[in-house]
Amino acid sequence: FWDFLILFFCLPVVIFNEITKKRLLGDMSCRIVPFMEVSSLGVTTFSLCALGIDRFHAATSPQASTRPIEQCQSIIAKLAVIWVGSMTLSVPEVLLWQLAQDTSPVSGVVTEYCTMKPSSNLPESIYSLVLTYQNARMWWYFGCYFCLPILFTVSCQLVTRRIRGTEKKSECRGTKHGQCEGHLNCTIIALTIIYGLCTTPENVCNIVVAYMSPDMSKQTLDLLNLINQFFLFFKCSVTPVLLLCLCRPLGQAFMDCCCCCCEGCGPDTTSSESSADSKLKTEMSSSIFFDKPRETPPPLLALGTPC
């Protein structure tokens, strides 16, 4: 959902600015777009950490196949912590950026752009905090939004594989539950790889700009910023598709929802049978967050005589 917000709001603003050299929504967009982009990095980072904890919890549980499915209230609480925490850490971006104008000496055209400069109208205490955030922003990006999810995911995967290889090797290998666990682990690894590849150029550009910005022209800095935003939009486009393709229950539920919205989806027998089969497969499969399959009902007793 947050990736959809990035593509729906931030992408048109960036494209409009590159075409017309005017900032859509003015100073508000200069503050909201960086806030949403940094919040997107935080949501992805903490979500990957939460998924790594869930995989580790599934690997260390003594009876993972018999535990009940996690309640909806617990899911909402975790999502609230991730979202509120990400948005709270991104609040300094609102106070850091502001709209600026530049006049071309050749054509005389006035262009609008966003600059990283705290407003002097802020209170002194807040102004000093924003300046401190600006000075530490590069290493904060690199440590929290790049190193943390990658190291956390790699550590959880190594520990999980170690535990499963020593304690549950004979039980999980070859079983349906073990296959679901391996499929979910591959999904998390794929999401982490996509995230790492898309955020690497931004971190490299931030380090280059931090140490070489006096020797670089404004056009070069704008080009690097555009490349960073392109990779962010690419990540927001690829991540939901990858998640729907790799997580079969989630992808099947999405396809069923799209099928119900189509006009040609009539209540015929074949569609009802296929939907029933898909619902059964979705219920019996594990989701991306939870590895606890539902308990199958006991088999029905045969009635009547052998004849």
User: Which pLDDT score, from 0 to 100, does residue 96 have?
Assistant: 85
pLDDT for residue 87? 92
CA separation for the pair 76, 197 (Å, rounded): 29
Q: Which CATH number fits domain 1-61+70-167+182-247: 3.40.50.720, 3.10.20.30, 1.10.8.870, 1.20.1070.10?
A: 1.20.1070.10
What does the block give as tokens for 46? 């903490």
How far apart (Å, rounded) are the C-alpha atoms in residues 28 and 201?
A: 26
Residue 222, strand partner residues: none
The β-bridge partners of 114 are: 99
The three-class DSSP label of residue 28 is helix
Give me the pLDDT at residue 82, please.
92
Name the one residue in this structure whose structure tokens are 């290493």.
139
Lookup: tokens for 231: 């990779």
3-state SS, residue 106: coil
Task: Name the pairing type of β-strands 110-116 and 97-103.
Answer: antiparallel
Closest listed residue to residue 34, CA positions, set 10, 57, 15, 70? 10
Spatial CA neighbour of 130 closest among 94, 87, 84:
94
| Paired tokens of 198 | 């898309």
Greatest CA separation for the chain: 99
Domain ranges of the chain: 1-61+70-167+182-247
* Alpha carbons 92 and 195: distance in angstroms, whole number: 23
Q: Hey, how many other C-beta atoms are within 10 angstroms of the C-beta on 60?
A: 14
Each residue's pLDDT tens digit in the chain (307 positions)? Answer: 888 888 888 888 888 888 888 888 878 888 898 899 999 999 999 998 888 888 777 777 665 555 567 788 888 888 899 999 999 999 988 888 888 877 766 666 777 778 888 877 888 888 888 888 888 888 888 988 998 988 888 888 888 777 766 655 455 444 666 666 677 777 888 888 888 888 888 888 888 777 776 667 777 777 888 888 888 888 888 888 888 877 777 777 777 777 776 655 544 444 444 554 555 444 444 444 444 444 455 555 445 445 4
> Is residue 230 a contact partner of residue 7, using CB atoms and an 8 Å limit?
no
* CB of 292 closer than 8 Å to CB of 69: yes
Catalogue the long-range contacts made by 239-243 (C-beta closer than 8 Å, 24 or more residues apart).
Answer: 239/3, 239/44, 239/191, 239/194, 239/195, 240/3, 240/4, 242/190, 242/191, 242/194, 243/187, 243/191, 243/288
Give the 3-state secondary structure percentages of the chain, helix then strand then coil, rounded to 5: 75, 5, 20
